[in-house]
């Protein structure tokens, strides 16, 4: 025209935030713990991880094409990759290949795309997949192995690992099967063995912290997960309210019960450091689309997650409760958002305009 | 087994009887929905929907014989409101809101035959026999009945232009979602 | 004095370094000036001059109409060429009735009507003179200042707040005014205090303007009634409701005015204009405009006459270095796009921004991920993601329930949105739609009334016809040919 740009609505400047950047920061925060986990569990874990993430991306591309949406922009934001990544972190590292693929399909198709794609999922997609897998394939999802680091002699080599992941080489798995801390605790308590005996000698807190225990990739190094979570808070990708509320509620309840009966109830540190607690608190419960949008809502949500984790671990049939806890609280998020709204400027809590009593100048 | 069959059969009979009695003695006379829908219509009885007036159109929509998108003056807003009221789903993507227009008399061609103002449902045309007519824009609903009857085609519809007071930003294009 | 915090808000890069250190320069008088009859909130002014008439600088060209209006004066001497519709400084591209004044270059002024001691005048008289001078809010809102100065009649007022925050990035016109003419600003403040009947004035200036703070403190001297208060640098500290909250801790009631809290807020340039109007008897015919942005060759703070075409200001600043990505009237957050370079500077124009592509950082939109950064940023405690989602679905009443009508359109939410969703445009559209629907509703009711009236009229005519017929029949006593007409509908 005559040098004048097209008329557009403000604001005409923007900060540097972008959706893709947020996803990449989350993946960066997950990277140390993931690499540590992959190193600890060896080649089968690597194959499973790659398969799960690839299947997630492929499923997203297929769904987008079927829905007639542009594929490249949505894939480029990295959200499907992240969902597959988080799912892989919660699976048994030596699970067969189809567990990862089916899980990824459930996560992306049923957990996310069916609801309208990014930002529309009422439940955390990775958790939807994990729970679906757990209920459908309980054996494969509860077969844990002790860590066999890549550098150790007992670790299967890359070719051998193919047999484990693709061939269902059960024999090799049996050789190194081990229970997770929480699983072990539950079994022992069920057998009437006291807690101190159950934990003694088998698992020290140091092991839990550094991750030398059986479990999924996300259950290993608490230290690296904590650092990753703090990175996310520092870069303002997530806010501190959900993680603090979740860990706080869990620690509080665990502490209370532990004080009442140390023989039956594990102490708070065991709860905080084992299982997928830290992964759940920083990476899973904080999924923006399925968690509340206000501060008070997030605190309530986090506290609910923490409390439910404790309840499920202690009294329910499953040794690990994070996935169920998060899904249950996800179901309450719309309700929380509806009732816990911020007070609007110039209005009181009920929405009526403010009134001031006649008074003199302060 | 026999007891179960007997019990269920009796239950079915009893409930069916109850429903029949309710349909007979507890029925609601007339359909208040029709009145409510009529109140929502523009009320100018322009006939663009094909029905003789807003009341018959409302009846047809309540009976399901006419779609909620049948009223052009009501536009998208009315179709949405009617869909919500009648509990039907409606696909509005094909519905283009006709820009509101008012009639305008081309004074050079007007012969003062008075046919148009006899037709106008809101008396928006002023004038008398053998005198040039003019349209009072504020009262014109854009129903176009005057245009239909004018023998010299001196009436035309002109879209209402936004002013600095009525202009507002258009709907943002939703990006790639 | 203790300050209070405001919720939300953002910290954009101020980007004021290009012009904050530059002294204001005068724009050379353009040959033609286009003076719109509506440069203020309220009814347009009514022209009182004729085509071809010669007018002097400062002469009244149009009278205010009604209670909420303002007159318009000639920015220089010259001849009235015409009064016609001309592009308005409005993103719609619509026109506004404008007086075209051809300058004669002599810049001859009418004799001003100064007042040696404004504080001796009655408060109502001060407001009247301010109104006669055409002074309106120069922070951009353009509300007629005389009406605001009369608020003391209806409200119990305690203090005057001068909004020197200038929180929009890029703009430095108020900063420069406070540095260069602090005495006039303080004088205007004292006159306004007298008009409002308040005993205290707080001049709020963002902390990133230390020189303005210092110069005003010097000019205010030891007067305890006029206090210069630095406020934290944060957008939207310049929103009058939030500024008052920061200073007093109290929120303006929804749908209310700051006067409900006993506070009246004015812009520093308005204060100077009041001083000019009352003490010196000169009307509002010029203002400082910051012309800046990455696409402007030599940014300046220009003292420009009202009615100068935007093109003239840009030319004086060296023109464009590149095709601007945005050309705005105002700041980058709430500024409106300029549709035509021929549109004129008006009383509320505080800035002309030509932003380069790099400064705008426009990115493609993507769907909302419900990250809630908008909720964090909103200074009014609203849920922008919910309002926008409902506006998108066409549920405008739902959006209104979530607080759409309480939104001040500051743009903080859209600034932080990682999906680059045009949130404020959704709200503008939704509010416009709601108003349009209300107007349509009123029109429909009116039409129903007219249609019913017509129906009655027809019925009455039929009735009268029948009665007339019956009377004729009764008089004649025998059936007549009219029976056939009676039978026909």
Q: How confident is the prediction along chain B (177 residues), in pLDDT tens digits per residue?
A: 899 999 999 999 999 999 999 988 888 776 778 888 888 887 777 777 777 778 888 888 888 888 887 887 777 778 888 888 888 877 766 566 667 788 888 878 888 777 887 788 788 888 777 777 788 877 787 777 888 888 888 888 888 888 888 899 999 987 654
Residue owning tokens 């600003």: C185
**Nearest chain A CA: its distance from C389 CA (Å):** 11
Please name the residue ranges forming H helices in C82-208. Answer: 123-132, 145-149, 173-180, 182-196
C341 within 8 A of C312, measured Cβ to Cβ: no
In angstroms, the first-to-last Cα distance of chain B is 58
C474 within 8 A of C466, measured Cβ to Cβ: no
Write out the H or E segment, with its range, that includes residue C200.
strand C200-206
Chain A environment of B176 (Cβ under 8 Å): 69-70, 73-74
Exposed, middle or buried by CB within 10 Å (0-12, 13-18, 19+), for C63?
Answer: middle
Report the b/e string of B47-56 with b at 16+ CB within 10 A: bbbebebbbb
Chain C environment of A19 (Cβ under 8 Å): 366, 369, 418-419
Write out the H or E segment, with its range, that includes residue B85.
helix B75-86
Whether residue C337 and residue A21 make contact (CB cut-off 8 A), yes or no, is: no
Pairing of strands C326-329, C351-355: antiparallel
Which three-class secondary structure state does DSSP give residue C229? strand
Q: Does B177 contact chain A (CB < 8 Å)? A: yes
Q: What is the pLDDT of residues A11-56, one digit of tens each?
A: 999 999 999 999 999 999 999 999 988 888 888 899 999 999 999 9
What's the rounded Cα separation, in Å, for the pair A359 and A340?
32
Whether residue A10 and residue C328 make contact (CB cut-off 8 A), yes or no, is: yes
What's the rounded Cα separation, in Å, for the pair A218 and C93?
58
SS3 string, C28-44, reads CCCCEEEEECCCCCCEC
Helix, strand and coil percent figures for chain A, each rounded to 5 = 65, 0, 35
> What confidence score (pLDDT) does residue A361 get?
44
Q: Does C319 contact chain A (CB < 8 Å)? A: no
A333 within 8 A of C366, measured Cβ to Cβ: no
Going from the C-alpha of A194 to that of each of A189, A317, B29, B82, the distances in angstroms are 6, 18, 74, 67
What's the rounded Cα separation, in Å, for the pair C369 and C372?
8
The per-residue DSSP string of A156-170 comes to --HHHHHHHHHH--H
Whether residue A346 and residue C370 make contact (CB cut-off 8 A), yes or no, is: no
| CA nearest to C384 within chain A | A293
State the pLDDT confidence band at A274, using cuts at 50, 70 and 90. Answer: confident
> What confidence score (pLDDT) does residue B177 get?
47
Residue owning tokens 């990277």: A31
Q: Please give the ipTM for the structure prediction.
A: 0.89
Q: How big is chain B, counted in residues?
A: 177
Q: Which residues pair with C205 in a beta bridge?
A: C164, C230
> What confidence score (pLDDT) does residue B52 get?
76
Q: Quick one: residue B63, left, alpha or beta (phi over 0 = left, psi -120 to 50 = alpha)?
A: alpha
C166 within 8 A of C175, measured Cβ to Cβ: yes
**Both tokens assigned to A56:** 């997630």
**Nearest chain C CA: its distance from B134 CA (Å):** 17
What's the rounded Cα separation, in Å, for the pair C30 and C52?
19
In angstroms, the first-to-last Cα distance of chain C is 84
**Nearest chain C CA: its distance from B12 CA (Å):** 43
**Both tokens assigned to A15:** 């900060």
Pairing of strands C336-337, C326-329: antiparallel
Q: Which chains touch C (3 or more CB pairs under 8 A)?
A: A, B
Q: How big is chain A, counted in residues?
A: 362
Whether residue B176 and residue A117 make contact (CB cut-off 8 A), yes or no, is: no
Closest residue by Cα to residue C167 from C245, C269, C238, C228: C238
Q: Tell me the CB-side half-sphere exposure of residue C412, using CA atoms within 13 A.
A: 27
Q: Is the pLDDT of residue A358 over 70?
A: no
Gyration radius from chain A CA atoms: 23
Q: Tell me the CB-side half-sphere exposure of residue A323, using CA atoms within 13 A.
A: 23
The per-residue DSSP string of C78-143 comes to EEEEEEEEEE-SSTT--EEEEEEEEE-S---BPPP---S-GGGS-HHHHHHHHHHTT-B-TTTT--
A205 within 8 A of A273, measured Cβ to Cβ: yes
Residue owning tokens 């103002």: B117
Going from the C-alpha of B124 to that of each of A72, C446, C451, C453, the distances in angstroms are 56, 12, 10, 12
Residues (pLDDT < 70) of chain C are 477-489
Instruction: Return the number of other C-beta atoms located less than 10 Å from residue C392's C-beta.
Output: 18
Largest Cα–Cα separation, chain C: 105
> What confidence score (pLDDT) does residue A360 get?
47
- Using alpha carbons only, give the angle C213, C292, C212 rounded to the nearest 5 degrees: 5
What's the rounded Cα separation, in Å, for the pair C60 and A176?
96
Gyration radius from chain C CA atoms: 28
Nearest to A9 among B169, B176, B177 (CB): B169
Among A72-76, A196-200, B159-163, C383-387, the minimum mean pLDDT is found in A196-200
Share above pLDDT 90 across residues of chain A, in percent, rounded to a whole number: 57
Phi then psi for residue C226, to 5 deg, are -110, 110
Pseudo-torsion of CA C471, C477, C478, C482, nearest 10°? -10
């Amino acid at each position: 025209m005559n040098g004048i740009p097209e008329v557009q609505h403000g604001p005409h400047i923007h900060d540097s935030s972008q959706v893709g950047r947020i996803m990449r920061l989350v993946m960066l925060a997950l990277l140390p713990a993931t690499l540590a986990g992959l190193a600890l569990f060896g080649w089968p874990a690597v194959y499973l991880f790659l398969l799960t993430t690839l299947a997630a991306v492929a499923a997203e591309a297929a769904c987008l094409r079927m829905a007639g949406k542009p594929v490249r922009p949505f894939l480029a934001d990295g959200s499907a990759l992240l969902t597959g990544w988080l799912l892989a972190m919660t699976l048994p590292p030596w699970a067969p290949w189809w567990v990862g693929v089916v899980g990824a399909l459930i996560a992306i198709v049923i957990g996310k795309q069916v609801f309208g794609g990014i930002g529309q999922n009422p439940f955390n997609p990775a958790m939807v997949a994990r729970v679906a897998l757990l209920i459908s394939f309980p054996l494969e999802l509860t077969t844990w192995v002790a860590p066999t680091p890549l550098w150790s002699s007992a670790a299967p080599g890359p070719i051998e690992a193919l047999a484990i992941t693709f061939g269902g080489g059960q024999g090799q798995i049996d050789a190194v099967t081990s229970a997770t801390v929480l699983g072990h605790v539950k079994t022992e308590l069920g057998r009437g063995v006291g807690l101190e005996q159950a934990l003694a000698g088998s698992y020290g807190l140091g092991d839990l912290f550094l991750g030398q225990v059986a479990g999924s990739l996300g259950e290993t190094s608490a230290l690296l997960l904590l650092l990753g979570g703090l990175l996310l808070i520092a870069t303002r990708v997530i806010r501190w309210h959900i993680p603090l509320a979740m860990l706080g509620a869990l620690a509080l309840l665990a502490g209370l019960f532990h004080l009442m009966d140390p023989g039956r109830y594990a102490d708070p540190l065991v709860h905080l450091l084992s299982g997928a607690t830290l992964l759940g608190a920083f990476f899973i419960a904080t999924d923006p689309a399925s968690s509340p949008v206000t501060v008070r809502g997030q605190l309530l949500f986090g506290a609910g997650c923490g409390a439910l984790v404790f309840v499920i671990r202690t009294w329910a049939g499953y040794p690990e409760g994070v996935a169920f806890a998060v899904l249950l609280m996800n179901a309450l998020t719309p309700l929380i958002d509806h009732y816990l709204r911020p007070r609007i400027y110039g209005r009181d809590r009920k929405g009526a305009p403010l009134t001031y009593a006649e008074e003199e100048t302060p | 087994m026999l007891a179960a069959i007997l019990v269920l059969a009796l239950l079915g009979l009893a409930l069916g009887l109850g429903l029949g009695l309710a349909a007979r003695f507890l029925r609601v006379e007339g359909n208040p929905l029709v009145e409510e829908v009529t109140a929502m219509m523009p009320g100018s009885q322009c006939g663009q929907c094909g029905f003789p007036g807003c009341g018959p159109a409302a009846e047809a929509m309540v009976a399901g014989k006419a779609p909620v998108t049948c009223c052009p003056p009501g536009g998208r807003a009315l179709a949405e409101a009617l869909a919500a009221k009648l509990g039907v789903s409606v696909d509005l993507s094909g519905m283009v809101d006709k820009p509101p227009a008012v009639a305008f008399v081309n004074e050079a061609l007007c012969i003062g035959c008075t046919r148009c103002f006899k037709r106008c449902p809101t008396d928006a045309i002023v004038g008398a026999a053998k005198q040039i007519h003019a349209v009072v824009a504020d009262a014109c609903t854009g129903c176009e009945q005057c245009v239909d009857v004018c023998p010299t085609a001196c009436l035309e519809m002109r879209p209402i232009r936004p002013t600095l007071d009525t202009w507002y930003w258009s709907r943002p294009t939703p990006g790639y979602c | 004095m203790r300050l209070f915090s405001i919720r939300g808000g953002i910290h954009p890069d101020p980007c004021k370094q290009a012009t904050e250190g530059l002294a204001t320069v005068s724009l050379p008088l353009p040959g033609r000036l286009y003076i719109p009859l509506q440069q203020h909130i309220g009814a347009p002014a009514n022209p009182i001059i004729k085509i071809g008439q010669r007018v002097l600088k400062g002469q009244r060209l149009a009278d205010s109409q009604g209670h909420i209006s303002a007159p318009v004066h000639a920015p220089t001497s010259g001849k009235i060429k015409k009064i016609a519709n001309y592009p308005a400084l409005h993103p719609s591209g619509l026109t506004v009735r404008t007086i075209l004044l051809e300058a004669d270059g002599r810049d001859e002024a009418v004799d001003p009507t100064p007042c040696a001691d404004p504080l001796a005048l009655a408060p109502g008289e001060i407001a009247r003179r301010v109104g006669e001078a055409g002074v309106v809010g120069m922070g951009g809102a353009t509300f007629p200042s005389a009406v605001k100065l009369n608020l003391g009649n209806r409200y119990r007022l305690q203090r005057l707040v001068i909004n020197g925050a200038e929180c929009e990035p890029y703009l430095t016109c108020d900063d420069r005014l406070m540095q260069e003419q602090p005495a006039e600003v303080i004088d205007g403040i004292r006159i306004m205090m007298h008009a409002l009947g308040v005993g205290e004035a707080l001049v709020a200036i963002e902390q990133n303007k230390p020189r303005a703070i210092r110069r005003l403190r010097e000019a205010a001297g030891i007067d305890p009634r006029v206090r210069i208060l630095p406020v934290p640098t944060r957008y939207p500290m310049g929103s009058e409701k939030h500024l008052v909250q920061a200073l007093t801790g109290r929120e303006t009631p929804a749908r209310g005015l700051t006067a409900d809290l006993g506070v009246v807020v004015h812009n520093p340039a308005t204060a100077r204009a009041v001083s000019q109007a009352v003490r010196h008897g000169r009307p509002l015919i010029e203002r400082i405009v910051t012309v800046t942005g990455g696409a402007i060759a030599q940014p300046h703070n220009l003292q420009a006459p009202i009615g100068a075409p935007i093109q003239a200001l840009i030319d004086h600043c060296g023109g464009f270095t590149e095709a601007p990505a945005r050309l705005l009237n105002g700041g980058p957050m709430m500024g409106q796009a300029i549709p035509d370079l021929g549109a004129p500077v008006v009383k509320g124009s505080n800035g002309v921004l030509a932003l380069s592509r790099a400064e705008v950082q426009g990115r493609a939109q993507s769907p909302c991920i419900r990250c809630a950064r908008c909720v964090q940023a909103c200074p009014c405690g609203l849920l922008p993601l919910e309002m926008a989602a409902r506006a998108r679905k066409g549920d405008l009443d739902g959006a209104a329930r979530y607080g759409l009508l309480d939104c001040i359109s500051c743009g903080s939410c859209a600034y932080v949105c990682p999906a680059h969703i045009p949130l404020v445009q959704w709200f503008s559209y939704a509010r416009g739609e709601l108003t349009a629907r209300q107007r349509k509703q009123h029109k429909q009711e009116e039409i129903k009334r007219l249609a019913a009236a017509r129906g009655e009229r027809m019925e009455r005519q039929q009735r009268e016809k029948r009665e007339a017929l019956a009377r004729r029949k009764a008089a004649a006593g025998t059936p007549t040919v009219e029976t056939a007409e009676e039978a026909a509908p």
